[in-house]
Each structure stands twice: as C-alpha cells, then as structure tokens.
Chains A and B, each alone.
Chain A
C-alpha cells in the first residue's frame, strides 16, 4: 500500500509540474505556426497565461489572407487528461451571411484523453443552441440543434432527424 501511495504521489508531482511549467504561450505560438501552413493566421490583441490556462483577447483570424473571423475572448484550459477551448463572441465577416450565421455568442470545445479523436462541441447564438462532435478518425462533424432560433441560411443545410434538426458534414 505504501508503494502505491508513493507512486501516486510521484505521479501527482510529475503531472502538477508538467501542467504548471508548461510553456503555454510558446505552445500557442507553435499552434499558430502549424496553422499558418494551412493558410490560417491569428492576430491577437492580448495573450495572458494562467496556471492551467491561456487566454487570448480580441483575436482576428485570417483565412488565406482574408480577415474573416473576429473573436472577443478565447480561453484554452488543460489538465492534460482534459482540455477545453471556450470562445466568446465570434463574429464572421458579413459577406458570409448567405452561408452561415455570422454571430456566435459562445462556443465550447473539449476533449478527453480517453477519446482523443473525439472533440465535443457546443455553441449558441441567434441560430439557437447546438451540441455535437467532431470525429477526427472518420473526419465527420455532427451537430444536433437542441434549440432553434433564427436559422437563416443554415435552414437549407440542416436535416430532420429523430431528435430534431441536425447538421452533418465531412472534411
């Protein structure tokens, strides 16, 4: 029992040190570098590091050089076995209004170490509320609309399922 206790304490110390000393800002820069290869550049107004989190304020996302997405606040949080990303006030360029909702109040993405290829996503805005998953293994996105508001252009992209409207696409 003593051995198990000691092993657990060492494991806890390693995990704690690992999360605490994680260079979150530099890891974020690394993500930025990788995104740039895909033609995505993020210009952020302010970055601040917390014990377990990293927050980015007033970010502008450029897709292939086009200023397309504005994010008021984004917060990355990780405990290694659980990671999440919370985004508040997403505004897409108005020229995309014929394709998708241009205002999203909040979005939440999270992933567990037990299913690292599944990302749970939730979002709410004028369109209502949606909840679903991104499956990185099958490259599939499934979103169930739990509450619908002004769907606008989304209306034509949604399908009727047993539990209501849903959106499905592959990438």
Chain B
C-alpha cells in the first residue's frame, strides 16, 4: 500500500508538536506560579488639602500688619533716586539723590518724609503713611540718560545662572523676591547647593527633614534650620515626593507662602510674602 506521508515526516511533526506543547506547558506553569496576572498602575493621590489663606477672626487681637505691596512709583517717591546700597548683616546704608543732592541714609532715617525700611541687593524699601515703596537701584545707563526710577532687575532676569533677589525680614513675616523664587523654580540643582533635604519614613508616608542649610544663603534667611521637618507648604501636606514636587512646581504662581515646620516637638508656621 502506498503511503500518503513519509513516516519520518509524521515522526518529526509529532516531535515538533510535542516540543511546542511542552514549552507551552512550561510557560503556563511559570505564568501561573511566578508571574503576576495584572500590572501595577499608579492611581492619582486623593485627599490632598487645597491651598488656603489665613483669615484672622479673633476680635481681641490686633489687625495683621498690612502686606507690603510692590512699590508703584507715585507721589513724590519719584524724587528719590537710589545710587548705591551697602548691605551688611548688622547695617543697611543707601545713597539716594534728592533734589540733585546725594544723601546717605541708614535704616530708620527719613528723607522727604520717606523712611528707609530695608534694602536688597538692587533696591531699597521706604515707608510713608503705612505704605511701602520700592526704589530700584539705577543702572549706569539710566543714570546718564533719564535718571528715572526703573527696575534694574528686569535686565538680568533672562540669565538663569545669576541669582537675583533677596529675602527681607519685615517683622511678622518675610518678603521673598519673586525673581529669587523664579530662579530656584527653574534651577532645581541650585536648591541642593544651599539646602539638604532627606526623606524619612513616617507611617504610610514620608517626612522631609532639613539636613543642612548653607550659612548666608536665601534658605538660611527664610528661617529654616537643620533638623526642621517640613510639614506643609501653603496647606498642602508634604508627605510624599509627589506632594513635594507639586509644591515645587506651583511655587512660581503663589503670592503668599506659608510653611509649617516641626522644630523639636513643636510645630511652627513661617509666613512669606512673594513680592
């Protein structure tokens, strides 16, 4: 009788199918006993506290100090031109030009009714009638041409490597220069040159502890110290990397900043105004 298929072909086909079956069974066993049946997906964090702003409802307490607004050159503040600034930890001295005469002022001294409150690296803050006015340092070019009060910061804002702005102590709160905030918001690596933050396990979440603060840096001027634990930023609890990163990403858009820290066993609130 004539055979339809060669016996060797049938034999090899059966061997091939047996191999396929064995390998399939092997993978099936691996899949069942070793490999997960579903993947891991991250669900969006729920329950994050929204941003809040402090409202003092206590009738017995004095009204909070009026926030210092960016100076709008109006009235006779325009008569003042800021020529030079000397800023030491214990002394602040500025040179101003008023009615074509230069005068050296110390913190607390007055000129034309305006009292010198503080000074940054490129500007001075004056107060009059409960209002605060900012006078920017005039650049050489401006001094030789118009002599007007114009911002000298704007010319440098494109240089991301240069750190502009200061943190000024205004008594009950501190004022952070917006350009300083912008610099750190766009140069994350510069933050870690000035401050060290270490994560610590805390229940299901994390805690962020400050391990060092560079002396004289803007971070030191913020009032934070080594050993402080950052609890929340603007009401947003900082208990995960995501929360910390979200706070960092939104930092450029906030007008006020409230930092809650744990120092020792006490909770402290640090308030900042972004100007």
Contacts and interface: CB of A to CB of B under 8 A. Distances in A.
B38 interface: yes
A17 interface: yes
A59 B186 CA distance: 25
Q: How large is the interface on A (under 10, 10 to 19, 20 to 34, 35 or more residues)?
A: 35 or more
Contacts of B86: none
Interface string A4-38: 00000110011001101111001111101100100
A29 B188 CA distance: 33
Contacts of B12: 9
Interface in B171-212: 185-190
A33 B34 CA distance: 12
Contacts of A18: 23, 27
B191 to A, nearest CB: 10
Nearest to A41: B42
A22 B30 CA distance: 10
A122 interface: no
Interface in B14-53: 15-16, 19-20, 22-24, 27, 30-31, 34-42, 45
Given A23-B31, A65-B45, A96 B37 contact: no
Most chain B CB neighbours (cut-off 10 Å) among A21, A33, A67: A21
B14 to A, nearest CB: 12
A93 B3 CA distance: 69
A65 B40 CA distance: 13
Q: Name the residue in B19, B37, B190 with the highest tally of chain A Cβ atoms < 10 Å from its Cβ.
A: B19
Contacts of B37: 26, 29
B186 A98 contact: yes
A162 B245 CA distance: 40
A97 B189 CA distance: 11
B42 A62 contact: yes
Given A9-B12, A41-B42, A14 B35 contact: no
B42 A43 contact: yes
Contacts of B45: 65
B186 A65 contact: no
B36 A10 contact: no
B16 A13 contact: yes
Q: For B38, B39, B42, B241, which residue has the most chain A Cβ atoms within 10 angstroms?
A: B39
Contacts of A62: 42, 242
A17 B35 contact: no
Contacts of B241: 63-66
B40 A41 contact: yes
A29 B35 contact: yes
A14 B15 CA distance: 11
B186 to A, nearest CB: 6
Contacts of A97: 186
Interface string B150-189: 0000000000100000000000000000000000011111
A98 to B, nearest CB: 5
A35 B188 CA distance: 25
Contact of A98 (B15, B27, B187, B242): B187
A152 to B, nearest CB: 11
Contacts of A32: 36, 39-40
22 contacts: A9-B12, A10-B15, A10-B19, A14-B23, A17-B22, A18-B23, A20-B20, A21-B23, A21-B24, A22-B27, A23-B27, A23-B35, A26-B36, A29-B37, A32-B36, A33-B36, A33-B40, A42-B39, A44-B41, A63-B241, A95-B248, A95-B249
Interface of A: 9-10, 13-14, 17-18, 20-23, 26-30, 32-33, 36, 41-44, 47, 62-67, 93, 95-99
Interface of B: 12, 15-16, 19-20, 22-24, 27, 30-31, 34-42, 45, 160, 185-190, 240-242, 245, 248-249
